[in-house]
């Protein structure tokens, strides 16, 4: 018999935060790409009192999804985010601001070329707190980096 504590069971939002991602990262990935998850590492815990339940994932499931252990995921200081509307499409961890900036430029240029957008890329802060630096691409796509908190 396996001890449930050995599974490293956590809610989707807990797992997202523990791996240094936005709180809704695992839920968004599961909603859009359920086949990215290792079979048997995700489950929905339902309550008789509630219509909805709580999704949980194991530590092994998170390592499979992100290709990193929790320790590896938390080594990076900067995060590059590709976002469409409010949905995060992809995230990359970087160990320096320069590395993050170069990756943002590389991704943004490839997205602009792929969409054949004629507009010039304008780099700027995307929020009033000046935490997210990047670019908005026509069609609702944003590519930016920010310091991991």
pLDDT digits (tens, 9 = 90+) for 90-147: 999 887 778 888 999 899 888 877 665 545 667 787 877 777 889 888 788 899 998 8
Please indicate, yes or no, whether residues 63 and 82 belong to a single structural domain of this protein.
no
- The whole-chain average pLDDT of the chain stands at 86
Q: Residue 79, exposed/middle/buried by CB under 10 A (0-12, 13-18, 19+)?
A: buried
Q: How far apart are the first and last CA of the chain?
A: 39
Please say if the pLDDT value at position 45 is more than 80. yes
For the chain, the domain total comes to 2
Q: Domain check: are 50 and 84 in the same one?
A: no
The yes-or-no verdict on residue 68 having pLDDT over 80 is yes
Same domain, 53 and 95: no
**Which residue range forms the structural domain that includes residue 50?**
4-73
Cβ atoms 77, 96 nearer than 8 A: yes
Is the pLDDT assigned to residue 67 strictly greater than 90? yes
Query: What kind and span of H or E run contains 133?
Result: strand 133-137
Q: Distance between CA atoms of 34 and 43, rounded to whole angstroms?
A: 12
User: Are residues 121 and 86 part of one domain?
Assistant: yes
Q: CATH number, domain at 56?
A: 1.10.10
pTM: 0.54
The DSSP-derived string for 40-89 is: TSEEEEE-TT-SSEEEEE-HHHHHHHHSS-HHHHTS-SEEEEEEETTEEE
* Residue 56 and residue 40 share a domain: yes
113 plus 85 within the same structural domain: yes
For residue 137, give the H/E element and its range.
Answer: strand 133-137
């Amino acid at each position: 018999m396996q001890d449930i504590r050995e599974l490293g069971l956590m809610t989707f939002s807990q797992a997202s935060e523990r791996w240094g991602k936005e709180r809704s990262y695992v839920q968004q990935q599961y909603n859009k790409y359920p086949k990215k998850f290792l079979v048997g590492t995700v489950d929905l815990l339902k309550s008789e009192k509630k219509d909805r339940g709580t999704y949980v994932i194991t530590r092994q499931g998170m390592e499979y999804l992100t290709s990193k252990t929790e320790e590896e995921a938390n080594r990076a200081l900067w995060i590059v985010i590709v976002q469409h509307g409010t949905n995060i499409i992809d995230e990359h961890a970087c160990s320096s601001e320069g590395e993050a900036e170069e990756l943002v430029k590389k991704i943004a240029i490839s997205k602009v070329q792929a969409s054949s957008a004629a507009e010039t890329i304008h780099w700027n802060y995307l929020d009033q707190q000046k935490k997210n630096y990047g670019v908005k691409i026509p069609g609702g796509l944003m590519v930016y980096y920010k310091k991991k908190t």
